[in-house]
Amino acid sequence: MKTSTQSSSIPGGCPADNMKKDEHYIWFMRIAAASAMAASCEPCLNMIVPDLLEVGVPETEIRKAVEIGQTIKDRKADIMKEAADFLAGTNLLDREVPEGCTPREMELIRADKMSMLIGVGAAVAGNCESCLSTLVPELRKAGATDEEIRGAVQVGQTVKEKPAAIITQTANELLGSPVSDNSVAGDQPTTGAEQGACGCGR
């Protein structure tokens, strides 16, 4: 499937657009590639992968980042299926979700400090709390500083917000006017809106 790589397809563009293309840029974009997979942000991935190739990052490293992102995404999906099966009596998951990482996940994500930082970004982008809780202590053991971990979290959070901005922009274009934040509840009781629209706020 052919997709556009124009930065205009992402509201606000890419946070790395104005960064000098040095080692920090490559670090940022490798984490962003995994985060884009975990967050299901296709326009993000369309921008990030060509940029990484352009600055000379080997395809094997890009592929690994993408695989880490997909692994985190799949794990979160399994956790949600397991919860739905338990709570709603569905049969979405035909296998047991293991505690902790599987051997393949361990080999892929825990290979080195950079791989784990990529995993942290993907965990934030993919809303996988168990992945984040596992990786942060291990990163500290591997010698990562809080500044490095915080940086990976920030990359994941930045990418995570992009799909929401993209779909909101699409809705606005289709409707011909911006959707008001206050229009979500309509004439319905405001309790849900006050708790975060879905009613799941605390």
In a domain, 121, yes or no: yes
The pLDDT tens digits of the residues spanning 126-143 come to 999 989 998 999 999 999
- Asked if 114 contacts 95 with a C-beta cutoff of 8 angstroms, the reply is no
The pLDDT tens digits of the residues spanning 141-171 come to 999 999 999 999 999 999 999 999 999 999 9
What number is the average pLDDT over the span 170-186? 76
199: left (phi over 0), alpha (psi -120 to 50) or beta: left
Q: Which CATH number covers residue 42?
A: 1.20.1290
Which residue range(s) make up the domain with 108? 20-179
pTM greater than the 0.85 cutoff: no
Both tokens assigned to 131: 């992945």
In a domain, 33, yes or no: yes
Considering the chain, what is the average pLDDT of its residues?
83
d(CA 70, CA 143): 25
3-state secondary structure the chain: CCCCCCHHHCCCCCCCCCCCCCHHHHHHHHHHHHHHHHCCCHHHHHHHHHHHHHCCCCHHHHHHHHHHHHHHHHHHHHHHHHHHHHHHCCCCCCCCCCCCCCHHHHHHHCCCHHHHHHHHHHHHHCCCHHHHHHHHHHHHHCCCCHHHHHHHHHHHHHHHHHHHHHHHHHHHHHHCCCCCHHHCCCCCCCHHHHCCCCCCCC
The pLDDT tens digits of the residues spanning 63-97 come to 999 999 999 999 899 889 989 999 999 999 877 76
Q: What letters, b where the CB count within 10 A reaches 16 and e where it falls short, cover 111-125?
A: eeebbbbbbbbbbbb
In a domain, 48, yes or no: yes
Count of structural domains, the chain: 1
